Structure 1
Amino acid sequence: MPLSRHVDPEELVERLHDAHLTQGGKQIRKLMTTSHLTPYGTRYASEIEVPKYRMPDEGAPADTVYQLLHDELELDGRPNLNLASFVSTYMEPNATQLMAENLSKNLADNDEYPAMMAIHERCISILGQLWGVNKGEKAVGTATTGSSEAIHLGGLAMKRRWQEHRRAKGLDASRPNILMGANAQVALEKFARYFDVEARILPVSKESNYRLDPKLVEKNIDENTIGVFVILGSTYTGHYEPVEEISKILDQYQERTGIDIPIHVDAASGGFVAPFTYAGAGGPKWNFELPRVKSINTSGHKYGLVYAGVGWIIWRDESYLPEYLVFELHYLGGTERSFGLNFSRPGAHVIVQYYNLIHLGFKGYREIMENCLANARLLSNSLEATTWYECVSEIHKPKSGVSGVIAGAKEVLASSEGETSADYVAGLPVVSFRLSDEFQKEFPQIKQESISLLMRARQWIIPNYALPPDENQTEILRVVVRESMSLDLLDRLISDLVSVTQTLMDKEGAEVSSLKHKDAGHAGIQSETKYSQQPISGGVVKRLEDGIHRTVC
């Protein structure tokens, strides 16, 4: 066994430093001290600000840059309290881990990631079956970066099919048009503008539930119509557009004229809601069960329950995707058939989509969507129970008949055991509401925008905006109920909405900037209006947010 001598480390280090080792005239070793002890202990702490619009000459420690960006981003709204967005803000830990493990994978690299591509194919197959692809049809589809890209692809396929049909008959193919309602999301209008298609945007009305009016469809189609965009879930009010009714109108038009006009269903949100809920799309068919529906898109990052970055489009059969639009790419040793507006795209989202489909299964998705609709109904009934608000959305109204505004909390029916969405008007779990006519007459100085701003001060993001053109004199507040809206969180949301409204009443519509935040449950001063004739307990007026909504639970 060899012998070892004791070494004095301090003496050794001192000797090495004293040696002044050099290389090329430059000292190799010199005594160094730690540049900073904490992420805040650098020059960015108080001496200079972080560079914003020019790259700095010298970098900064990683932990410092991380902490600075982390702190600045805390000024953003809280995603879970962002009730303006349909986009998913929650994923299960296992799904999040899968996404993190696969963030570096590019969906465009087919040959390098064969397992991921197999998962992509499985998702297409599952969605095709979910949306009613018939036996014998060869459905084809692709993941996209979202519904916007998917809508553009669906529109391009309809335009190319129309052009090929017209040219084969020697007819003019230079003036294509497409129909959509004025409630259409901007992506549909973008398709028309970007790809030189006349957008025939049909007005909506209260009678048509602020969605595409079937009566106007037949009046606006002609031989140059490449298709009709029908929306399964309007972003304004959550109403489903009547796909089957529009399909029948187009069937009758074809019988008279011989002109075959297809339907593309924009199911950005409804594609992951209608198939799972007991209400479905309200009874009528909406998917590939209708022969006239040639393509459907959806957003995996909405009610598909994946973080932002994935959409889907499926054609009922490969014959409806013109070969001219499909590119065959020879790339990195493999061959890929591609139809998309961009090349590289994240693959992790596709993997997580498959995880959700397999992990949750049909019953799991049904439970989540039914819960979302139940909470949306509770919010709707609670708002109308105050008599201050009326809902423009209708998912809380019994299917047998649409009732008027509920006069008071005692008239609101509690959810009975076994009740499902099938008992109510079908739609997305969206609550669109406005100040009631009676309230506006009593308090004309109170604006809905003030409610939105005061809710933002309490960290809730609830947009206030006008309905589509021709109905834009009416403004609505809108809440999108997502998976992460628990009953407990909903309870606080209702309390805060009532508290904010009553604060405005107490202040007689004072400037928002002059109002101070009051905690929910704080006893306020009784107003002299009929809206504030509230119960008195122990000589103290009880505010409505203390529990009026609990009577409708």
Structure 2
Amino acid sequence: MPLWKKSSSKSPDVYTTTHAIQGLAKDHIPETGMSPEEAYNLVRDELYLDGNARQNLATFCTTWVEDEVHTLMADCIDKNMIDKDEYPQTAEIEARCVHIIASLWNSPEAEDTIGCSTTGSSEAAMLGGLALKWAWRDRQKKAGKHHDKPNIVCGPVQVCWHKFAKYFDVELRQIPLTEGSLHMQPEQLKDYVDENTICVVPTLGVTFTGVYEPVKEVCQELDKIQFETGLDIPVHVDAASGGFVAPFLHPELVWDFRLDRVKSINASGHKFGLAPLGVGWVIWRDKKELPADLVFNVDYLGGNMPTFALNFSRPGGQIIIQYYNFMRLGYVGYRAIQLACAENAHYLAKKLSKLPELEVLYDGKGALPCVCYRLKEPKKAHYTLYDLSERVRMSGWQIASYPLPADMQDTIVQRIMVRHGVSHDSVEQLFEDIRKALNYLGKNNIKWSEAGPSFSHG
């Protein structure tokens, strides 16, 4: 057969195929498939409609990784990390990460403490909350008291705690914010805790603003409450973002297992832990803090082994990359990255503070590498921060705008996350685009804009 006939069945160009001309199936599986090349190009083209992740400064999540990370992720694509019998080295690396993180958080038993990976900090938070609920229930039973009305006390928490409260039948007592304060105040605790409080949850890196809640002072206030009332209330620290920032930028800050009252901590590896999306961590102070009732022994995977995560069938790649980062960067490398992010955030805050329209609420110093601000005179402006978000998005930037929670809902803020991969030049360009957008909004009446909240929890 002539060569031209052999090749005639293959389209010379992917965009002249039937699927490219008529479109991809939207609501049913097609009768026949297509070549890998065609499928890849046509699906990839749809992804161009997404925002540019590198310009998404609303998210806390990793958006830049080294080439070696892509290779390692591909090496792990077929590994189900939950199957520890078939993938023992992946299980070993997960255990190493637990001990390394426990050491970062000053665990008194870092070498043999208990913890696990999760799909993210939300699952990790729920595991920490469940362990504390079970422990509270057991204490109540032993004391002959009712155990059907548990509560947790917190400040402005991430939405996963609202989910935890609803899913697991726990009352959420959220301490309201007050003007001039961006987090819960320890002296407020006495009005919210009681014998049904399973834990207090301070946040190391408040989602709305980036500030740290004062974990040490919260513990000290709970010590005082215990002395006065006898209530011994534990603390779970939601360090979803700050857990991989504070050990490197603020090692002198006491927030972790150096405080006896802190029983468990969760964090997200795919935020400032620098791993790709899909991994979180929960660490308990020691083994007795994880009730045995929450640990399941499974044997269908090839061997009998304990498990206490919520999910089965999870990829191992993100865990491997977490370990890769620990080995690749070391303490010095992590500190250098977080310091660069913090310096760029503070630089941006200084630039923004010179704009007459804005009031900077948090400047990137002392907590997460981010900036939070509001309009200086929102009632006089004929536009909102929602409009500003919409305007800068025309240049590709995605910035979170939303009302603050709990008694400050009338205050609209913007938050800009400065993560690994956000350079000084990027910050300069973003500032110029914000300045130009404010100038445009100030000169044009857009009071009928339908722009609304744009918020990223993770």
What is the DSSP-based 3-state SS (H/G/I as helix, E as strand, rest coil) of the residue aligned with 2:198?
A: strand
Aligned to 1:76: 50
Give 3-state SS (helix, strand or coil) of 2:374's partner. strand
Which residue matches 1:307? 276
Identity %: 42
Q: Does 1:133 align with 2:107?
A: yes
Deviations 1:287-326 (A, max 9, x none): 0000000000100000000111000000010000001110
Q: Which residue of 2 aligns with 1:239?
A: 211
Deviation at 1:43, TM superposition (A): 1.3
Match of 2:418 among 472, 481, 495: 481
User: Which structure's CA Rg is the greater one?
Assistant: 1
Unaligned runs of 5+ in 1: 1-8, 14-29, 397-425, 514-553
Is the Cα contact below 8 Å between 2:117 and 2:282 reproduced in 1? yes
Tell whether 2:19 aligns with 1:44: yes
How do residues 99-498 of structure 1 correspond to structure 2 at under 5 angstroms? Answer: 99-134=73-108, 138-181=112-155, 183-207=156-180, 209-277=181-249, 279-280=250-251, 284-396=253-365, 426-437=366-377, 440=378, 444-498=381-435
Equivalent position of 2:37 in the other structure: 63
Distance 1:477 1:31, change over 3 A: closer
Aligned residues: 449
Question: How far 1:284 moved relative to its partner?
Answer: 4.6
Q: Work out the CA distance in 1 between the residues paired with 2:79 and 2:48.
A: 29
Tell me how far apart the structure 2 counterparts of residues 454 and 52 of structure 1 sit (CA, whole Å).
Answer: 31
Counterparts of 1:339 and 1:198, CA distance in 2: 23
Kept in 1: contact 2:174–2:406 (CA 8 A): no
Residue 34 in structure 1 maps to residue 9 in structure 2: yes
Per-residue CA deviations over 1:257-303 (Å, capped at 9, x if unaligned) read: 332211000000000000000x44xx551000000000001000000
Q: What is the CA-CA distance between 1:122 and the residue it aligns to?
A: 0.6
8 Å Cα contact 2:248-2:338 kept in structure 1: yes
**Partners in 2 of 1:57 and 1:73 — Cα distance?**
24
**How far has the Cα of 1:65 moved from its partner?**
1.8
CA distance in 2, matches of 1:116, 1:153: 21
TM-score by length of 2: 0.94
Decide whether the 8 Å contact of 1:137 with 1:316 is kept in 2.
no
How far apart are 1:178 and its partner, in Å?
0.9
Q: CA deviation at 1:35?
A: 4.1
Aligned match of 1:503: 440
Following superposition, the deviation at residue 468 of structure 1 comes to 0.9
Q: CA deviation at 1:454?
A: 1.1
Q: Give the root-mean-square deviation of aligned CA atoms.
A: 2.0
Do the aligned residues in 1 keep the contact of 2:266 with 2:283 (CA within 8 Å)? yes
Would you say the 8 A contact 2:246–2:253 is kept in 1? no
Equivalent-residue separation in structure 2 for 1:131 and 1:75 (angstroms): 40
Measure how far apart 1:31 and its partner are. Answer: 7.8
Distance 2:433 2:39 in 1: 37
Instruction: Decide which moves more: 148-157 or 126-135.
Output: 126-135
Secondary structure at the aligned position of 2:208 is classed as coil
Counterparts of 1:285 and 1:149, CA distance in 2 = 25
In 2, Cα distance between the equivalents of 1:172 and 1:507? Answer: 61
Is the 1:266–1:298 contact (alpha carbons within 8 Å) kept by the matching residues of 2?
A: yes
- Asked if 1 retains the 8 angstrom alpha-carbon contact of 2:62 and 2:419, the reply is yes
Partner of 1:405: none
Q: Evaluate the alpha carbon distance shift between residue 32 and residue 369 of structure 1 in structure 2; reply closer, same or farther with a 3 A threshold.
A: closer
- Deviation, 1:51, is 0.8
In the aligned structure 1, how far is the partner of 2:6 from the partner of 2:343? 67
Amino acid across the alignment from 1:354 = Y
Q: Higher relative contact order at CA 8 Å, sep ≥6: structure 1 or structure 2?
A: 2
Counterpart position of 2:59: 85
Shift of 1:199: 1.1
Take 1:342 and 1:78, find their aligned partners in 2: how far apart are those partners? 30
CA distance in 2, matches of 1:128, 1:136: 5
**CA positional deviation for 1:135:** 5.0
Shift of 1:509: 4.7
Pairwise CA distance, 1:37:
1.8
Amino acid at match of 2:70: T
Answer yes or no: is the 8 Å Cα contact 1:210–1:468 preserved in 2.
no
What SS does the corresponding residue of 2:433 show, helix, strand or coil?
helix
**1:511 Cα offset (Å):** 6.9
